Amino acid sequence: MIQRRLAPALRRAQIAEAAREAILRDGLRTTGLREIARQAQTSVGTVTYHFGSIREIILEAAVIEAERFYAPVITAVDAEADVGRALLLLIDPLFDGTEDTLRHWRFWSDYWSEWARDPDTRQEDYGRLRLWSSCCERTIRRGIATGTFKADVDPLAVAVKTAAFMDGIYTQISLGAPALDHTVARGWMRGFLQAELGAAFERS
Are the C-beta atoms of residues 91 and 161 closer than 8 Å to each other?
no
Are the C-beta atoms of residues 10 and 50 closer than 8 Å to each other?
no
Interval 50-94: pLDDT, tens = 999 888 899 899 999 999 999 999 999 999 999 999 999 999 999
Interval 106-129: pLDDT, tens = 888 888 877 767 656 565 566 677
Is 2 a residue whose pLDDT tops 50?
no
Q: Which CATH class is domain 1-52?
A: mainly alpha
**Residue range 170-178: average pLDDT?**
92
The ranges of the chain annotated as CATH 1.10.10.60 are 1-52
How many Cβ atoms are within 10 Å of 162's Cβ, its own excluded?
A: 23
CATH of span 63-197: 1.10.357.10
Distance between CA atoms of residues 71 and 154, nearest Å: 25
Distance between CA atoms of residues 108 and 66, nearest Å: 9
The pTM for the full model equals: 0.84
Q: Note the pLDDT of residue 30.
A: 87
The ranges of the chain annotated as CATH 1.10.357.10 are 63-197
Q: Note the pLDDT of residue 57.
A: 92
The three-state secondary structure class of 1 is coil
180: left (phi over 0), alpha (psi -120 to 50) or beta: beta
**Residue partners of 143: CB distance under 8 A and separation at least 6:** 83, 84, 87, 149, 197, 199
**Residue range 26-32: average pLDDT?**
88
